[in-house]
Homo-oligomer: A and B are copies of this chain.
Amino acid sequence: MTEARPTLRERRRQDLTTEIKAAARTRLAADGLAALSLRAVARDVGMAVSALYRYFASRDDLITELLVDAYTAQAEAVEAAVAATAGGPVPRLRAALLEFRAWSLAHPVEYGLLYGDPLPGYQAPTDRLQLPGTRVAALLYGLVDAADRAGRLDRAVAGARRDRLPAEHVDQLDRWRRRRVPDMGLDAVVVTVDLWTRMQGLLTLEVFGQLRPVLPDVTAYFTAALDDALAAAGLTAG
């Protein structure tokens, strides 16, 4: 184990890495990505710009780490909300989506980076972001699957929904299901996509301020749309 006794240098490196990321995160939230300057970050932590390159290969590399942290923080918030919710998988699913909204509204800049328009010039490294970026989605699919296995997914409702959708759509989902979640039922996948696109679509509009002129406060609408989507999916509380 090299972890046994971390050398002084390793400890300082770790500390400085998190300190740099913290400073960058603050500047990011305050001024946005475009105004995130390495020189400003260096000034904040009290070192020369060039010294930053001992910790991050480039500005893009720093951004990538911030993305990983944001994905992780968001996933942990949602997971905590799920864990704190009593009841079956459906109430937990509801809590997960409500917490997903809460975190996103509290971190609009990060949300924009994670789910907003692709950063031009910045090529997201899949190997670094694949896992943390799919944690929330995996949790949601898992909850719907759990609901399905617990008999909380009304197969009549879900089946009717599936029959009403075009075959091309369901086929695509089935291909993805076989590759990624072969143990899940197709109906559960169809229903999860319905639910996820509706709620995240609405949330994205809200976070980006598209609804503000018409709807200053989206809270009631979001909750209603969530319950609506759950019911339309055939997911019953219990």
Contact = CB atoms under 8 A, between A and B. Distances in A.
Interface of A: 31-35, 108-109, 111-113, 115-121, 164-166, 168-169, 172-173, 176, 193, 197-198, 200-205, 207-211, 213-217, 219-221, 223-225, 228
A169 B224 CA distance: 9
Given A120-B109, A165-B221, A198-B201, A193 B214 contact: yes
Contact of A201 (B31, B205, B224, B228): B205
Given A35-B120, A112-B117, A224-B164, A216 B172 contact: yes
Contact of A121 (B35, B169, B197, B198): B35
Contacts of A118: 112, 208-209
A205 B200 contact: yes
Number of copies: 2
B120 A169 contact: no
Contact of A166 (B121, B173, B210, B223): B223
A23 B162 CA distance: 47
A165 B224 contact: yes
Nearest to A231: B164
A205 B197 contact: yes
B165 A208 contact: no
Contacts of A216: 172
A220 to B, nearest CB: 4
B120 A164 contact: no
Nearest to A200: B205
Contacts of A224: 164-166, 169
A113 B210 CA distance: 12
